């Protein structure tokens, strides 16, 4: 197989095309938002948030199908229902943690520990209440991602999420950077520091839900952290970090899809491992560069 | 070494900062600052001293609006401090900043402009000019593109002073800028503050260095929850006031043929009282 065939052959299939676009979009969104996650030290939050959307997705699956408790919602596209369920649960958890840590009585990681474990437990409880869900293809996709799972509507919601996340970060860049670096200054200048922090948490929830179908709950954190960490190794400036991270995320996404196709592996792990490879490359380069410049 | 007697300054220049019967409390912990009143004239330089936990940081944070206060008033140039935010600049304690954060000197100083630039806008040429000028005033323009973690202790502090200048600060508050640095850095910061005098920027600086407080400031505010003493170094560095603030950390010694000497063992500094032993201690710039 030539290199050209490596890339051209999978493109004959529409589902690969869709997965490629979705993976690239997710790489871009996670890449840009991940920069904030990395410099603010919010990885634990990201991991927890990913798990906390499970009850939302589960509830949407169990309670809104045909003949279920909220059966009147069954008319809506299933992917959209799961997406909305996850988003609601994620945003709710983010807000609850934000509120619990507003004063200093509880440390953030403690509040996160309490809230998100509760949410995850609730998710498992909902799943176990319905034997249908265990065997469902849809559900394993949400946990681990699947190249076949990307529908047209998934693509549209992912693209919309991308526009929202990248658009908001673009418009509020200087405020978000300021509140991440020095919250006290934001408060001194009477900028809504608390509101901006909440906004970041909500954007994280949106990003995680968007990357559900292709990466899966268990691995979304990797896409939020690894590309940004790769970029951090290569620059000392936040504004340079953003495009590098987006590029790293998008490349990992696309390359991961091709590898996933050829090696017949689940997309989530393949994309994440590709991303890790990029990170290791950047790490080696940074080490070498440091040695070259310091001698 | 320019030592200006305190009382004269107050009468010649308008009051920029007025604190009236301020009390600040944390929930469940009682009040950290109680019934503090202070009027500061334009261009005046005040050292805020007192033992750890005396409320120095709390007082500063209340003035810049980082914590709400329970009673009293703070006004800046006649406006309530809650609406006159950009006139007050704050240089936080060194530990409060993540020095590994990927921003350079220019980025940090530009942050001071964030509110003036406005929502959804990018810095204009004028904003860049103001940032440039602020960096020139603190002598940091040559290092404008350096990552903040790669700066020396004195340079870091100067960058944050520049940020306050870019903000348009009239009152600058510095929270223990001398903690954990050597005398040379302290000297560097004081020289930067000397530059600001020309622009009549008012300075409040919390410190444990009683020597510098006594010799380089117009007035000294001795705080221990309440105002123990406030005035010139001669008025504040007295046996009764220091004993009240520092308790057993104050020792009084008599040497033959000399006035009595008061030794204050503050957390970081062992200082002989400048007043009682006849001559002011010489501040060695190292």
Q: How far does A33 lie from chain B, in Å, by closest CA?
A: 15
Confidence bin at B276 (pLDDT 50/70/90): very low
Tell me how many domains chain A contains: 1
Residue A96 within a domain: yes
Q: What percentage of chain A exceeds 90 in pLDDT?
A: 49
Question: Could you tell me if residue A241 is left (phi over 0), alpha (psi between -120 and 50 degrees) or otherwise beta?
Answer: alpha
Identify the CATH number of the domain in which residue A56 sits: 1.10.3470.10
Say if residues B138 and B165 touch (Cβ distance below 8 Å).
yes
Residue A252, pLDDT > 70, answer: yes
Residue B271, pLDDT > 70, answer: no
A32-87 pLDDT per residue, tens: 999 999 999 988 888 888 889 889 988 888 888 777 777 777 777 777 888 889 98
**Which residues in chain B have their CB less than 8 angstroms from residue A188's CB?**
64-66, 85, 88-90
ipTM rounded to 2 decimals: 0.88
Residue B7, pLDDT > 60, answer: no
- A144/B167: higher pLDDT: B167
Q: What percentage of chain B exceeds 70 in pLDDT?
A: 87
Say if residues A27 and A223 touch (Cβ distance below 8 Å).
yes
Q: State the pLDDT at residue B178.
A: 93
pTM of the predicted structure, to 2 decimals: 0.88
Q: State the pLDDT at residue B176.
A: 94
Owning domain of residue A190: 3-287
Mean pLDDT across the stretch A176-192? Answer: 94
Tell me, yes or no, if B260 comes closer than 8 A to chain A by beta carbon: no
Residue B255, pLDDT > 50, answer: yes
CA distance B184 to B115: 34
Q: How far does B191 lie from chain A, in Å, by closest CA?
A: 24
| B250-254 sheet: strands from edge to edge | B250-254, B260-265, B270-272
Please state which CATH class domain B6-238 belongs to.
alpha beta
The DSSP letter of residue B130 is: H
Q: State the pLDDT at residue B3.
A: 40
- A110/B262: higher pLDDT: A110
Per-residue b or e along A71-98, where b marks 16 or more CB atoms closer than 10 Å to that residue's CB: eebeeeeebbbbbbbbbbbbbbbbebbb
CB within 8 Å: A237 and B117: no
**Inter-chain contacts counted by CB atoms under 8 A, chains A and B:** 76
Residue A294 within a domain: no
**Which residues in chain B have their CB less than 8 angstroms from residue A175's CB?**
114, 119
CA distance B76 to B82: 9
Residue A293 within a domain: no
- A143/B269: higher pLDDT: A143
Q: How far does B76 lie from chain A, in Å, by closest CA?
A: 14
CA distance A267 to A27: 13
- Give the range with max mean pLDDT: A172-181, B4-13, B59-68: A172-181
B208-235 pLDDT per residue, tens: 999 999 999 999 999 999 999 999 999 9
Mean pLDDT across the stretch A123-146? Answer: 76
| A190: nearest CB among B85, B119, B122 | B85
Mean pLDDT across the stretch A254-262? Answer: 94
Confidence bin at B28 (pLDDT 50/70/90): confident
- B7/B114: higher pLDDT: B114
Q: State the pLDDT at residue A147.
A: 66
Mean pLDDT across the stretch B3-25? Answer: 72
The DSSP letter of residue B83 is: T
Tell me the residues of A at the B interface, defined by beta carbons under 8 Å apart: 39, 103, 171-172, 174-175, 177-178, 180-182, 184-191, 232, 235-239, 241
CB within 8 Å: B90 and A171: no
Say if residues B45 and B172 touch (Cβ distance below 8 Å).
no
Tell me, yes or no, if B118 comes closer than 8 A to chain A by beta carbon: no
Distant-in-sequence contacts of B194-198, Cβ < 8 A, 24+ apart: B194/B2, B195/B137, B195/B138, B196/B137, B196/B161, B196/B165, B196/B172, B197/B43, B197/B45
Q: State the pLDDT at residue A176.
A: 97
- Give the range with max mean pLDDT: A51-55, A204-208, B105-109, B269-273: B105-109
**Which residues in chain A have their CB less than 8 angstroms from residue B167's CB?**
189
């Amino acid at each position: 197989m030539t290199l050209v065939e490596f890339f051209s052959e999978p493109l004959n299939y529409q589902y690969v095309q869709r997965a490629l676009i979705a993976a690239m979009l997710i790489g871009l969104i996670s890449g840009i938002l991940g920069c904030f996650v990395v410099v603010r030290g919010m990885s634990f939050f990201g991991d927890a948030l990913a798990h906390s959307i499970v009850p939302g997705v589960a509830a949407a699956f169990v309670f809104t199908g045909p003949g279920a408790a909220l059966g009147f919602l069954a008319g809506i596209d299933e992917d959209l229902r799961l997406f909305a369920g996850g988003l609601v649960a994620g945003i709710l958890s983010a807000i609850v943690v934000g509120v619990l840590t507003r004063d200093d009585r509880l440390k953030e990681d403690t509040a996160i520990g309490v809230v998100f474990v509760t949410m995850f437990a609730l998710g498992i409880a909902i799943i176990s209440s319905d034997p249908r869900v265990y065997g469902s293809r849809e559900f394993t996709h949400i946990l681990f991602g699947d190249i076949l799972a990307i529908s047209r509507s998934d693509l549209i919601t992912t693209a919309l999420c991308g526009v929202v996340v990248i658009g908001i970060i673009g418009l509020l860049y200087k405020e978000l950077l300021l509140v991440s670096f020095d919250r006290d200054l934001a408060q001194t200048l009477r900028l809504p520091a608390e509101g901006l922090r909440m906004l970041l948490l909500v954007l994280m929830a949106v990003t995680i839900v968007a990357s559900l179908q292709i990466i899966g709950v268990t691995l979304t954190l990797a896409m939020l952290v690894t590309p940004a960490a790769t970029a951090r190794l290569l620059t000392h400036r936040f504004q340079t970090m953003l495009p590098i991270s987006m590029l790293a995320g998008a490349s990992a996404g696309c390359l991961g899809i091709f590898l996933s196709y050829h090696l017949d592996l689940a997309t989530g792990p393949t994309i994440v491992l590709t991303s890790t490879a990029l990170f290791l490359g950047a790490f080696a380069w940074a080490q070498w560069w440091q040695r070259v410049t310091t001698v | 070494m320019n030592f200006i007697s305190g009382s004269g300054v107050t009468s010649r220049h308008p009051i920029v900062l007025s604190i009236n019967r301020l009390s600040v409390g944390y929930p469940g912990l009682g009040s950290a600052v109680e019934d503090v009143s202070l009027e500061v004239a334009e261009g005046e330089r005040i050292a805020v001293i007192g033992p750890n936990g005396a409320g120095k940081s709390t007082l500063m944070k209340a003035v810049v609006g980082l914590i709400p206060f329970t009673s009293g008033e703070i006004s800046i140039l006649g406006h309530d401090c809650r609406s006159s935010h950009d006139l007050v600049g704050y240089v936080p304690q060194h530990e409060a900043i993540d020095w590994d954060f990927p921003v350079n000197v220019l980025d940090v100083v530009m942050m001071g402009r964030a509110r003036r630039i406005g929502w959804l806008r990018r810095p204009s040429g004028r904003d860049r000019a103001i940032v440039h000028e602020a960096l020139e005033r603190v002598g940091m323009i040559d290092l404008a593109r350096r990552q903040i973690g790669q700066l020396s202790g004195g340079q870091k502090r100067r960058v944050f002073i520049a940020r306050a200048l870019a903000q348009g600060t009239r009152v600058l508050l510095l929270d223990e800028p001398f903690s954990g640095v050597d005398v040379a850095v302290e000297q560097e910061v004081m020289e930067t503050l000397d530059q600001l005098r020309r622009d009549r920027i008012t300075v409040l600086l919390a410190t444990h260095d009683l020597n510098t407080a006594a010799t380089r400031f117009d007035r000294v505010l001795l705080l221990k929850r309440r105002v123990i003493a406030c005035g010139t170094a001669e008025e504040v560095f007295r046996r009764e006031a220091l004993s009240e603030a520092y308790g057993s950390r104050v020792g009084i010694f008599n040497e033959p043929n000399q006035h009595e000497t008061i030794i204050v063992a503050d957390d970081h500094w062992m200082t002989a009282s400048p007043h009682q032993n006849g001559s002011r201690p010489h501040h060695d710039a190292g």
